Every structure is written in structure tokens, then in C-alpha cells.
Amino acid sequence: MKKEIIVIDGPAASGKSTVAKLVAQKLNYKYIDSGAMYRCVALYKLENNLSIGQLLNNIEKIKIDFDNNNHVFLNDKDVSDLIRSTEVSKLVSEIAKISKIRAYLVSLQQSYGKEKGIVMDGRDIGSVVFPEAKVKIYQVASVETRAKRRFNELLDNGKSADYLEICNNIKKRDYDDMNREVSPLIKVDDAYELDTSNMSIDEVVNKIIEIFNEKVK
């Protein structure tokens, strides 16, 4: 299989990571979750009790790796679960606004892309990290669809969930992602917009593989 870079950008909870993992599996590519990297920086700040200034001074001490089972390691420690905590989720959008942090993570992301053969999802991957990528997907779904998916996911995991609260949360994250000054979420001209509101996961994965096959010959 030819080694390329597949980019999947889009708003929060649009199912990017589920789809990106499956696409990577099918092509025998590596999956890189760029959102997990912003979460790692937030976790590092919390664990070391750093001010933003101290965090910026120590940014290069942060080492982030992914294994082939979609686990993420912060300075060699598996933090795959820790980065999903409420504290990290609350802090991460502040972290993602800081241009020095973005510049550091973008350089790490570009280094993972050197060998190609990767699927990376995020917000600015097609616009900033890999503007030259041949396969760019902009994955969207209606707020209601995304909230319903998240609601069912929480119930399936035995947790309580409030549909309206989830809807409002998603709308706020969309607003924050699309309106921040540095690298806001945008659909670049050469990205294929895929509205997954009425599609199953398999249909989305197959569509992306079809686009990959068309673009990469």
C-alpha cells in the first residue's frame, strides 16, 4: 500500500477518531490523535502544578509518543485514560489557544508525518500541519446527531447524561474552535466535506477509503 498522509479535520464529537482508527487499520497506517497531544500538555501542566509561564518555559521537556494500539505516552507514561479526565477536558481549550504550544505540537506532528503512512485527525491538520496532504477530509455532523451519539455513549458506559447539557457543550466547543485567533477550525478548499449525520461508521470509513483510492494512484 502506498504511504500517504490522510487528514481528518472537523468539529468536536463528529466521530473523527473512531473513523480515523478504522481507516488506519484498513490501510495498515498509524493513527495519530492530535487532540490527545493538546490534552497531554494540559495534563503536564496540572500534574506539575505549573503556571502558563512555567509551562511555556518547559514545553520542550514534553515528549509524546503513540504506540500501534492507539495508546498515548507522556514522557514514557501511558496517559490514555488520564487525558480524558474532566479536569483536562476543561483546561485543554485554553491550552490550544496558545501559539507557542501550537508551534511545538505542530513540529512534533510534522515529525510523525516524515515517514508518511499516517492518519491524523484534529482541527488544523489540513490547514497548518500538512497543507500538502493529498487526502483531506472535513468530517461534520449536525449538533443533534453528535449530542445523541455522545449521550448514548455515556449511557452505554453506565454513566449519567443530560442531553441538553451535551448539546450546549458541543455548541460552545464549536464556537471556541472556529473563533479562536490561532489556527481556527476551517474547511480548506481542497478538503472533501463529509456530512456523517445519516451515515453509519462503516459507510464513512468506506467513503474515505474510496476517496483515498481516487486521489492516490
The cell for 140 is 461534520
Can you tell me the distance from the alpha carbon of 198 to that of 42, in angstroms, rounded to the nearest whole number?
Answer: 34
User: Which positions ≥6 away from 119 have C-beta within 8 Å?
Assistant: 6, 8, 20, 21, 23, 24, 27, 29, 30, 31, 32
Strands 30-33 vs 77-78: parallel, antiparallel or unpaired: unpaired
Can you tell me the distance from the alpha carbon of 196 to that of 128, in angstroms, rounded to the nearest whole number?
Answer: 24
- Which residue, 1 or 44, is less far from ligand DC as judged by CB? 44
Closest approach, Cβ 21 to ligand DC, in A, equals 13
- Which residue, 130 or 212, is less far from ligand DC as judged by CB? 130
- Which residue, 1 or 178, is less far from ligand DC as judged by CB? 178
Dihedral sign (CA 22, 18, 206, 23): negative
- Which residue, 38 or 212, is less far from ligand DC as judged by CB? 38
Can you tell me the distance from the alpha carbon of 192 to that of 96, in angstroms, rounded to the nearest whole number?
Answer: 25
Residues at the site binding ligand DC, with contacts judged by CB under 6 A: 12, 34-35, 38-39, 92-93, 96, 122-125, 177
Residue type, 66: F
- Which residue, 107 or 213, is less far from ligand DC as judged by CB? 107
